[in-house]
């Protein structure tokens, strides 16, 4: 008998779904928490927060296997999924249909933002020791330019919409929420999470420049 | 004279391009879209005064249980027989369902729904080499009440029409077919083939192709809780995946 594990379609979809939460979503939350400590000033941030992270053993392996690879798999398969839908944004003005579209648009936007964001911090830091040594100063100098601040804000909000709406749809796909009431309650939870994480992210961004 | 105005998207055969024509009929209270189309058919003259071929469409039960008269009316997929003209904005725009091949005018070929129902084994085998159920199968009143909701599906295609994941170029079986799996699996005799049905919807075009846009449940004329079925099946296939990966529990 043909079973699900002989058919990669299902397993790949579920892997895509799982990776979006763990480790990718988990890392995003950690990343926002880490950077929310910018308000304690350059010395604390550079030495305690970034310094502690840079001192981790096997850091490169962690970066590759816990962050980069899962992210690339999630994004790559997500781009494939895009092909399975139709753009019908003018029809069907219901909330979750709007979010269905936003989930797809934000996915592409986040990918572009990440190229810029990671390129200008982590990748640049490989060649430019000054960036690595004073990440606080580097972030301060780029975030104090209003267009880049707005770009970061947009990147932050889109990432969180993608994460929180993904969490909502994931609950249906995996069968955590089945009834209309349960799906609605879970939606409220996801909205609350979105507000909380947005506040944390914004707080971190402002900490660099205020 | 008070009139009722129509704009109808027409197509002469499956291969020719569509075009629009306007009609107007004398006002009468209490028309539904089918009865209005019958008036147009008696005298198929456009508003410009041109005599044309009568508009082709399908209908059968006239009480919203067969699904044959489904079409897009003022942008929303619904049944022409139960859509009252008095409640509609004019001109009333009639279009064929867009997710199925057009045969002619408002007639579409919905046979793909049947093909997909067969693909997911949405039937119950009541005959076998042995007596399949001794006595009548028993269902609790609670389960019966829930199953009844799903049993009202008439394969009209409205939920597929609004589903962004469903289309002629896609393999996704669509919400109604998934809900049929939910219904057949809940039947005592049908549950014998539960695993086969779950495996069928774990393949390409199955449950995981749903994008949770939840449009389907907004338009279903029978108020079938499609998104609940999708969530319940999500749980079932998660458990099935664990059974496939790690072995059964019993
Ligand atoms: S689920 Fe509802 S909308 Fe879909 S085919 Fe059945 S009756 Fe029609
Ligand atoms: S919830 Fe799934 S099946 Fe229903 S309209 Fe959305 S994508 Fe289609
Ligand atoms: S004629 Fe049967 S549903 Fe309209």
Tens of pLDDT, residue by residue over A128-150, are 888 888 999 999 999 999 999 99
Q: Name, in order, each residue with C-beta under 8 angstroms of A72's C-beta and a sequence gap of 6 or more.
A: none
| CA–CA min distance A55, chain B (Å) | 39
β-bridge partners, B21: B8
Helix, strand, coil abundance in chain A, percent, nearest 5:
85, 0, 15
Residue A1 has a pLDDT of: 45
Q: For chain B, list the domains and their CATH numbers.
A: 3-108 (3.10.20.30), 111-246 (1.10.1060.10)
Residue in B165, B208, B214 closest to A85 by CB: B165
Q: A67 CA to chain B: closest CA distance, Å? A: 25
pLDDT level of residue A210 (50, 70, 90 thresholds): confident
Return the SS3 of B32. strand
| Partner-chain residue, chosen from B172, B215, B232, that has the shortest CB–CB distance to A97 | B215
The pTM (predicted TM-score) of the whole model is: 0.93
- The CA distance from A28 to the nearest CA of chain B, in Å, is 23
Q: CA nearest B164 in A: which residue?
A: A86
Written as six digits, the tokens of B231 are: 């969530």
Residue B245 to residue A2, Cβ atoms within 8 A: no
Instruction: Kindly determine whether residue B245 and residue A5, on different chains, have CB atoms separated by under 8 Å.
Output: yes
Angle between helices A8-19 and A146-173 (to 10 degrees): 130
Q: In ligand 3, which atom is closest to the CA atom of B79? A: 4
The ipTM estimated for the assembled molecules is: 0.91
Residues of A with CB under 8 A from a CB of B: 1-5, 7, 9-11, 13-14, 84-88, 91-92, 94, 96-97, 99-101, 103, 168-169, 172-180, 182-183
Which tens digit of pLDDT belongs to each residue from B185-196? 999 999 999 999
A79, pLDDT greater than 50: yes
Q: What is the pLDDT of residues A44-53, one digit of tens each?
A: 999 999 999 9
Nearest CA to ligand 3 atom 3: B64
From ligand 1's centre to the CA of B138, what distance in Å?
Answer: 27
**Selection from B182, B195, B183 nearest residue B230 by Cα:** B182
The tens digit of pLDDT for each residue in A181-205 reads 999 999 999 999 999 999 999 999 9
Q: Choose among A144, A142, A158: nearest CA to A197.
A: A158
pLDDT at A4: 66
**B76-79 and B70-73 as β-strands: parallel, antiparallel, unpaired?**
antiparallel
Which pLDDT score is estimated for A3? 60
- Selected for mutation to probe chain A from B208, B216, B238 (highest A CB count within 10 Å) is B208
- What sign results for the dihedral spanned by CA atoms A18, A19, A20, A24? positive
B212 vs A86, A96, A176: nearest CB: A96
| CA dist., res. A150 & res. A158, Å (int) | 12
Given a cut of 70, the residues of chain B with pLDDT beneath it are 250
Position A150 scores a pLDDT of 97
Q: Give the closest-approach CA distance of A196 to chain B in angstroms.
A: 24
Residue B28 C-alpha to ligand 3 middle, in angstroms? 21
Domain limits, chain A: 2-209
pLDDT value of residue B127: 80
Residues linked to residue B72 through DSSP beta bridges, in sequence order: B77, B95
At the topology level, CATH places domain A2-209 in: 3 helical TM bundles of succinate and fumarate reductases (1.20.1300)
């Amino acid at each position: 008998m043909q079973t699900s594990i002989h058919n990669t379609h299902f397993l790949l979809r579920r892997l895509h779904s799982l990776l979006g939460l763990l480790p990718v979503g988990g890392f995003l939350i950690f990343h926002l928490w880490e950077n929310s400590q910018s308000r304690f000033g350059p010395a604390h941030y550079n030495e305690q927060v970034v310094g502690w992270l840079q001192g981790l053993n096997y850091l490169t392996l962690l970066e590759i296997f816990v962050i980069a690879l899962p992210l690339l798999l999630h994004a790559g398969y997500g781009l494939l999924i895009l092909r399975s839908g139709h753009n019908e944004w003018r029809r069907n003005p219901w909330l979750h249909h709007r979010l269905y579209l936003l989930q797809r648009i934000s996915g592409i936007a986040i990918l572009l933002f990440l190229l810029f964001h990671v390129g200008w911090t982590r990748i640049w830091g490989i060649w430019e020791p000054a960036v690595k040594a004073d990440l606080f100063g580097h972030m301060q100098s780029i975030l104090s330019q209003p267009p880049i601040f707005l770009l970061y804000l947009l990147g932050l909000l889109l990432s969180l919409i993608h994460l929180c709406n993904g969490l909502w749809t994931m609950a249906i796909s995996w069968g955590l929420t089945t009834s209309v009431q349960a799906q609605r309650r879970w939606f409220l939870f996801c909205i609350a999470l979105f507000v909380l994480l947005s506040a944390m992210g914004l707080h971190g961004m402002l900490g660099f420049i205020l | 004279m008070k009139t009722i105005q129509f704009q109808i998207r027409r197509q002469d055969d499956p291969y020719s391009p569509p075009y629009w024509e306007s009609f107007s009929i004398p006002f009468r209270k209490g028309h539904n879209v089918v009865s209005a189309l019958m008036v147009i058919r008696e005298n198929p003259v456009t508003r410009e005064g041109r005599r044309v071929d009568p508009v082709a469409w399908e209908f059968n039960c006239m009480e919203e249980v067969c699904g044959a008269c489904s079409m897009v009316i003022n942008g929303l997929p619904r049944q022409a027989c139960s859509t009252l003209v008095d409640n509609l904005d004019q001109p009333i725009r009639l279009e064929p369902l867009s997710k199925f091949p057009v045969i002619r005018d408002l007639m579409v070929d919905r046979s793909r729904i049947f093909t997909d129902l067969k693909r997911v084994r949405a039937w119950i085998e009541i005959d076998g080499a042995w007596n399949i159920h001794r006595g009548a199968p028993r269902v609790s009143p609670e389960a019966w009440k829930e199953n009844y909701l799903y049993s009202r599906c008439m394969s009209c295609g409205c939920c597929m029409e609004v589903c962004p994941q469903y289309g002629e170029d896609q393999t996704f079986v669509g919400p109604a077919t998934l809900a049929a799996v939910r219904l057949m699996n809940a039947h005592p005799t049908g549950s014998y083939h539960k695993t086969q049905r779950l495996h069928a919807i774990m393949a390409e075009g199955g449950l995981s192709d749903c994008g949770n846009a939840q449009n389907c449940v907004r338009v279903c004329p029978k108020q079938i809780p499609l998104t609940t079925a999708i969530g319940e099946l999500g749980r079932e296939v998660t458990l099935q995946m664990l059974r496939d990966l790690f072995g059964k529990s019993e």
